[in-house]
Amino acid sequence: MTRSEFQFIDSLRQRFGAEIGDDAAIFSSTAEKETVITTDLLVEDIDFRRTTAPPLLLGHKALAVSLSDIAAMGARPRWSLVSIGVPDDVWQTGFVDQFYEGHAGIASRYDVRLIGGDTSRTTEQIVIDSIVVGECNIGQAVKRCAAVPGDQIFVTGSLGGAAAGLRLIERGAHLAEQKLDDDDSQKIDHVLLRQLRPEPRVGWGMVLGEERLATAMIDVSDGLSSDLNHLCTASGVGALIESSLLPIDQQVVELCGRRALDPLQLALHGGEDFELLFTVRPENVTRLPRRVDGTQITRIGEVLLHTDGVRISEGSRIWELNPGGWKHF
Amino acid sequence: MTRSEFQFIDSLRQRFGAEIGDDAAIFSSTAEKETVITTDLLVEDIDFRRTTAPPLLLGHKALAVSLSDIAAMGARPRWSLVSIGVPDDVWQTGFVDQFYEGHAGIASRYDVRLIGGDTSRTTEQIVIDSIVVGECNIGQAVKRCAAVPGDQIFVTGSLGGAAAGLRLIERGAHLAEQKLDDDDSQKIDHVLLRQLRPEPRVGWGMVLGEERLATAMIDVSDGLSSDLNHLCTASGVGALIESSLLPIDQQVVELCGRRALDPLQLALHGGEDFELLFTVRPENVTRLPRRVDGTQITRIGEVLLHTDGVRISEGSRIWELNPGGWKHF
């Protein structure tokens, strides 16, 4: 059996003593601040398709995925760098300009400053590496490793939208050229944008970090099932989540019926929703704000002992929740 | 005429007010320290070839080029991240392990800690993005923009080796499998290693920064002619360098004769030597150490007024020194 991406990262950690494994790396050289840094590599035809991801939205998404990592550390994003490699024919077009325009749009909304990067030529495919540096007060960064049994498990926003969007794109759907009153097209645009223009939960990340409300946190990038397992493994705990509590995107539910798609599968294993999955001590649950930046949170389960495994209940039945999300290898 | 990479970076700077254009970006959130960060994208078949760059050396080089950027800021490299994308068949081999082994080798020599990164699949080509974070005391970072007329121009080590190595690789040369006594093969190995395993001038960068000896600095990555022009443009000055003073790699001189290569062209326009090019106030020249980590420096010319242009003298003749180095676009 070939080694998975996650096994490889484990091997790096063991060989080099690297503190790898959170959404972002933490380093600090002063007594006041912790700096967190994350990098996300996006490769054409693996992570996006040129034909379906408009460059403006790609610029947005490249930064959004990294902002989501910084949010998952409970930190404030501050600075950004972009390395971009494109083939000659793409360089001749407006692609790179539109990419940076999209990047600048979301950067300015979150007050993130573009400070550098690199450009390179490639032979065929577009590659993008997005780097974001954030910061928080010393000891405030939220890792994956500190959830304890009894903690309540929460997730921001809704799940399944990005995966539904990807399925529809694979079936040939495009963003509507103009606003249509047609109810179905609006739902389709909604899930396409969840895939193509994800909104990182930057505000929630900062609140949870600053108020020290989350014991552990991760962003839902690989898929809830995978990311919950990552968090539980790092913390050495188990978990039980309840299927009926999952905030499945309502528009996904409505779109799925006629398309032979299962909303629960999309919500559990779909990935790229870029919501925050976090754990909270029971006594702190009442201190949680109801909304941040218009986004609600939902309690979906509880942290258990490691020996309880990571499971999901549906009515009276309980299953193992195995990681079923995105893996590169 | 299509827009060059450098024109594009200029346009970014103007549109987004981005402080882009030094070897590394500077940011700071405390009163004591400045943090510098750099990112370098290496793309297969553009920046290296899988058949001629052994993964161990590629891991070394990926970090070396970024360490060189940090050195060119007069800062101390501290932390590193690597994003790497490889196709499935490469993932199955020892490539990634050997790459990280090479990376770890040079990282430990310079006391740089690997703290994170990303792995991704690609369809065909290997891509690597190397990120290094360094730091220095506030106000100590050496930019490209502060050279003034009268400053003396210096360069570390020797020039032309990396370019000669590249030419030989293109002609089919490989590193010797075993040490040969043959004088010519030793020279060939020397220039191949200048290309495949460059040594960043980390010690010199730190000394020049800490002692505030350099008014402006850049690393020789694109080529002396290009990089001197970058520095002069950023500082709004001109320069005159003397051909006879250039520290052309002696082994390059000896190898070139029989190969119809011009050592001076390689030294001026070749690129990838990863030496440091810096300017020093005349009154500080005597304060310069003779060697750092065994590497000497050479005075090659003087900073002049902007109106004097960037030129090179050879005997009694003087030419414009136009950028002739590496451009991606």
Average pLDDT over residues B79-89: 95
Q: What is the pLDDT of residue B307?
A: 97
Question: CA-CA distances (angstroms) from residue A264 to A240, A257, A267, B2?
Answer: 16, 12, 5, 50
Q: Is the pLDDT of residue A213 over 90?
A: yes
Q: Are residues A133 and A220 in the same domain?
A: no
Q: Which of residues 27-66 of A touch B (CB under 8 A)?
A: 27, 29-30, 32-33, 35, 37-47
Q: Are residues B47 and B112 in the same domain?
A: yes
CB contact, 8 Å: A5 with chain B?
yes
Contact A30 B33 (CB under 8 A): yes
Q: What is the CATH number of the domain that holds A115?
A: 3.30.1330.10
Q: Are residues A173 and A226 in the same domain?
A: yes
Chain segment A232-265, per-residue pLDDT in tens: 999 999 999 999 999 999 999 999 887 888 999 9
Q: Is residue B27 part of a domain?
A: yes
> How does residue B327 score in pLDDT terms, banded at 50, 70 and 90?
low
> How does residue B25 score in pLDDT terms, banded at 50, 70 and 90?
confident
Q: Are residues A203 and A313 in the same domain?
A: yes
Across the interface, of B18, B100, B115, the residue whose CB is closest to A114 is: B18
Average pLDDT over residues A294-299: 98
Chain segment B36-77, per-residue pLDDT in tens: 999 999 999 999 999 999 999 999 999 999 999 999 999 999
Q: What is the pLDDT of residue A22?
A: 79
The domain of B237 spans 152-320
Q: Is residue A326 part of a domain?
A: no
Q: Are residues A161 and A310 in the same domain?
A: yes
- A88 C-beta neighbours (distance < 10 Å), count: 13
Q: Is the model more confident about A153 or about B34?
A: A153
Largest distance between two CA atoms of chain A = 60
Q: What is the pLDDT of residue B1?
A: 47
Q: Is residue B201 part of a domain?
A: yes
CB of B40 closer than 8 Å to CB of B130: yes
Q: Is the pLDDT of residue B18 over 60?
A: no
Q: Are residues B162 and B285 in the same domain?
A: yes
Mean pLDDT of chain A: 91
Q: Is residue B304 part of a domain?
A: yes
> How does residue A1 score in pLDDT terms, banded at 50, 70 and 90?
very low
Q: What is the CATH number of the domain that holds A187?
A: 3.90.650.10
What's this model's pTM, rounded to 2 decimal places? 0.92
Q: What is the pLDDT of residue B26?
A: 79
Q: Are residues B98 and B203 in the same domain?
A: no
CB of A36 closer than 8 Å to CB of A73: yes
Average pLDDT over residues A224-233: 96
Please give the ipTM for the structure prediction.
0.90
Q: Are residues A186 and A258 in the same domain?
A: yes
Across the interface, of A46, A88, A92, the residue whose CB is closest to B120 is: A46
Q: Are residues A164 and A123 in the same domain?
A: no
CB of B277 closer than 8 Å to CB of B227: yes
